[in-house]
Structure 1
Amino acid sequence: MVKRVTIADTALEASFRVAELIAKKMKPRTSGEEINDPACNMTVETMLGKVARDQVSKVPLSNNTISQRIFEMSVDINEEVVERIKSNAKFALQVDESIAIAGKCPLLGFCGFIDKEVVEQLMFCRKLQTTTTGEDILASVTSYLTDHGLSWNDCCGICIDGAPSMIQTYKGFITRTLKENPSMTTAHCFLHREVRVEKSLLKV
């Protein structure tokens, strides 16, 4: 049986393509309905007529729709990354936490693994709910790994930013992760080391 491509199918695909473009350009999610939709309708009507415009206007570009499309794409990308990690058994992890605007504290996790070549990919971005201790960071990362069927035993190395919560001797994140997997290698991000050296030199 031959599957026919309908207007609904093409409108859905177009909606995802516009959402991807908005996300890549880091534009407000209202851009679809406030700018893209009116501009596209005007262009199509001018060049191809009202019938073509009516077809194009069926592409859903509301704020809520664009938000949902971006969320669905991010979930899909995350699932693909996890599956590629599982197929290659081992991965390395870089973790960075910082205080952002309005006192929120995002925890970023980047992964590296070998899939014919070295692949580096954003793994997660999670908000630490209350405090930013080594225990909180470990709990957040462990929760992510468990939810996606991964284990600390699969992590062969970890790189951190050098914050006190990361490197404290007894309660730091690194100390706690080594209890989960003592065979992991650990490293301090060279970019953070360079920044510290620069600050020290500026004081001289």
Structure 2
Amino acid sequence: MAENITSQQIEDINFAPAFSIACDESSDVNDIEQTALLCRYVNSDGPQEEIIELILLKGQKRGEDICKAVMNCLQAKGINTTHMGSVATDGTPSMRGTQKGFVTLLQKSLDRELLTFHFILHQEALCAQTFPPE
């Protein structure tokens, strides 16, 4: 069943006229570096936002490591990157660096410019912690 849902997501992404990715790198409780890869697109049900993969990073979390891992993931999943129009990341140097940041390297590997956005992925979780339970 999970494979069917994943294959349907990939099919929807590939049929979308454009899609966007969002990447957020972090460490888990065991200090294992990872990148959450999300995809935003529109299908017949309207706007969608799906997590594609939680990518474990081996070693460092440099821009080139993240870019290689994301591109390998997209290729392994069969996601066609020709319709990728934008990328959203947090503002860390490994993501936004002008020479060796993930966004710069992603644009070089795709051989085109992408719209780039800064985001705070955990904004809802942070806000929920400050509100009273009711």
The TM-score range, normalised by the shorter chain, is: 0.7 to 0.9
The answer on whether the counterparts of 1:93 and 1:158 sit within 8 Å (CA) in structure 2 is yes
* TM-score, length basis structure 2: 0.81
Matched letter for residue 185 of structure 1: L
RMSD value over aligned CA atoms?
Answer: 1.9
Q: Distance in 2 between matches of 1:156 and 1:181?
A: 12
Cα distance change on mapping 1:190 and 1:100 into 2, 3 Å: closer
* TM-score, length basis structure 1: 0.55
User: Is 1:163 aligned with 2:92?
Assistant: yes
Higher gyration radius (CA)? 1
> How far has the Cα of 1:149 moved from its partner?
2.2
Give the alignment partner of residue 23 of structure 2, picking from 87, 95, 99.
Answer: 95
Matched letter for residue 105 of structure 1: E
Q: Distance in 1 between matches of 2:31 and 2:120?
A: 26
Q: Secondary structure of 1:165's match?
A: helix
Question: Superposition pairs for residues 179-198 of structure 1, below 5 Å?
Answer: 179=108, 180-190=110-120
Cα distance change on mapping 1:181 and 1:92 into 2, 3 Å: farther
Quick check: which one's strand share is greater?
2
User: Is 1:149 aligned with 2:78?
Assistant: yes
In the alignment, which residue of structure 1 is the partner of 2:66? 137
Q: Secondary structure of 1:136's match?
A: helix
Q: Distance in 1 between matches of 2:74 and 2:4?
A: 16
* Identical counterparts, % of pairs: 26
Q: Distance in 1 between matches of 2:4 and 2:105?
A: 31
Q: Distance in 2 between matches of 1:154 and 1:129?
A: 28
Q: Distance in 2 between matches of 1:132 and 1:169?
A: 16
Q: Which runs of 5+ in 2 are unaligned?
A: 124-134
The answer on whether the counterparts of 1:153 and 1:181 sit within 8 Å (CA) in structure 2 is no
Cα distance change on mapping 1:123 and 1:191 into 2, 3 Å: closer
Larger RCO of the pair (alpha carbons < 8 Å, separation 6+): 2
Q: Distance in 1 between matches of 2:13 and 2:81?
A: 13
Would you say how many aligned residue pairs link Structure 1 and Structure 2?
121
Matched letter for residue 84 of structure 1: D
Cα distance change on mapping 1:190 and 1:126 into 2, 3 Å: closer
Question: Superposition pairs for residues 21-32 of structure 1, below 5 Å?
Answer: none
In the alignment, which residue of structure 2 is the partner of 1:84? 12
1:136-190 deviations in Å (ceiling 9; x for gaps): 1111110111112223322111100111100111000011111124231000004
The answer on whether the counterparts of 1:104 and 1:127 sit within 8 Å (CA) in structure 2 is yes
